[in-house]
Amino acid sequence: MAAPAGARSLVLGWGMSTPEQLEPYLALHRDLGVEPTLHIASVAEGLLRPRAYARRLRRALAPLLAEPPYAFYIHLFSDNGFIALAQTLDELASSAAGRAALGALRGVVFDSSPGLHTAQTASVFADRFAQGTTPFVARRLGLGARRDRVFGVTRALRALFLGYHRLFPAGVRRALSARSRVEAHGLRVPMLFVCGGADTLVSADGVEQYAASWAARGVSTRVVSFEGGRHVALLGADRARYERELAAFVGASA
């Protein structure tokens, strides 16, 4: 199923992802006739340097602000992508060109996201931060790349984050505001949620509850669960199914 002529997409990567890891997803977009722009938001920059965080995102959004506005999609991963979605909507809503582009938005794909929508306190956010960054740290320490919890390491990361929060509470408050900021924009575009049955960071049940909250507002939603799928590893869990779901989602808006 082909996308609308000239369609574009904004791909918001998960924290500590690399362009090489996301290239297979960009290739899927190109195969569907969608020209993707990749943006991997820096977790540290978002927490410590919000102005620099916003500047980098504005540069990524530039191709979407062409005249006339082209149909575009947002494809995001994990909570890092969800936080970047909130910032993206804020940025687009702040200018006439951005609002025109926002009016051309055709749909949003949530991959292994969001889990942050359930976090209401810095303590809960610290737990999520520690668990989400443990695989990266574990890989660096030679302890295994897919371990979500490592005794000592996960606990140390949680303590580190809580210490950061005491020094820089504004950054945490902004991250925790992602859900309310996204909802404040009143999106009415279709949403596709893909989640993994073996995801220990973002549960399938939590994703279904979040999707239901949008469906209650009259938004068209579809939730697809990959049995045995791990966090941000759904394409590898069943590539053919992932491709079919994305193609159907994009094709439905053509």
Q: Is residue 187 situated within a structural domain? A: yes
Cα–Cα distance measured from residue 58 to residue 245, given in angstroms and rounded to the nearest whole number? 29
Domain count for the chain, please give it.
1
Work out the average pLDDT over 95-114.
95
Give the model confidence (pLDDT) of 22-41 as tens digits.
Answer: 999 999 999 999 999 999 99
Q: For 42-57, how does the pLDDT look when each residue is reduced to its tens digit (9 = 90+)?
A: 988 887 888 999 999 9
- Report whether 235 contacts 25 (CB < 8 A): yes
Quick check: 145 pLDDT over 60? no
| Average pLDDT value for residue range 208-217 | 96
| Position 167 in a domain | no
CATH code of the domain covering residue 186: 3.40.50.1820
With b meaning 16 or more CB within 10 Å and e meaning fewer, what string describes 69-90? bbbbbbbbbbbbbbbbbbbbbb
Q: Is residue 1 part of a domain?
A: no
The three-state (H, E, C) secondary structure of 134-197, written as one string: HHHHHHHCCCCCCCCCCCCHHHHHHHHHHHHHHHCHHHHHHHHCHHHHHHHCCCCCCEEEEEEC
Tell me, yes or no, whether 90 lies in a domain.
Answer: yes
Asked if the structure places residue 108 within a domain, the reply is yes
The pLDDT of residue 173 is 81
Assigned domain for 161 exists: no
- pLDDT digits over 168-209, tens only? 777 778 888 899 999 999 999 999 999 999 998 899 999 999
Whether 104 is in a domain gets the answer: yes
Q: Which domain holds residue 110?
A: 8-116+182-252
Is 168 domain-assigned? no
The answer on pLDDT for 122 being more than 90 is no
